Amino acid sequence: MSSIDTNGSSLEDSLRTLADTGPLVQHLTNEVTMNDVANLTLHWDALPVMADSPGDAGEMAELASALLLNIGQVPERKVEAMHEAAETANDRGIPVVLDPVGVGSTPTREGVAEALLSETEFAVIKGNYGEISALAGVEAEVKGVESIGEYDEIEETARSVAESTGAVVVASGVEDVVADADRATRITAGHERLGEVVGTGCMLGATIAGFCGALEDPYTAALHATLAFGLAGERAAELPHEGPASYRTNFHDAVAGFSPDVAAEFEPEDRLERVD
Please state the domain count of the chain: 1
Residue 160 is part of a domain; what is its CATH number? 3.40.1190.20
User: Does the structure show a pLDDT above 90 at 60?
Assistant: yes
Q: Is residue 172 annotated as involved in ligand binding?
A: yes
User: Does the structure show a pLDDT above 60 at 76?
Assistant: yes
What pLDDT digit, counting tens, does each position of 17-36 carry? 999 999 999 999 999 999 99
Residue 40 lies in a domain: yes
Residue 166 lies in a domain: yes
Q: Is residue 65 annotated as involved in ligand binding?
A: no
Residue 2 lies in a domain: no
Q: Span 225-251, mean pLDDT?
A: 96
Residue 3 lies in a domain: no
Residue 110 lies in a domain: yes
Residue 101 lies in a domain: yes
Q: Is residue 199 annotated as involved in ligand binding?
A: yes
User: Does the structure show a pLDDT above 60 at 148?
Assistant: no
Calculate the CA dihedral of residues 150, 156, 162, 163 and round it to 10 degrees: -140
Residue 199 lies in a domain: yes
What pLDDT digit, counting tens, does each position of 208-228 carry? 999 999 999 999 999 999 999
User: Does the structure show a pLDDT above 70 at 72?
Assistant: yes
Residue 64 lies in a domain: yes
pTM given for the model = 0.93
Which band of pLDDT confidence, cut at 50, 70 and 90, is reported for residue 149?
A: very low
Average pLDDT, the chain: 92
What pLDDT digit, counting tens, does each position of 151-210 carry? 678 999 999 999 999 999 999 998 999 999 999 999 999 999 999 999 999 999 999 999
Task: Residue 260: give the domain boundaries.
Answer: 8-274
To the nearest whole percent, how much of the chain has pLDDT over 90?
A: 87
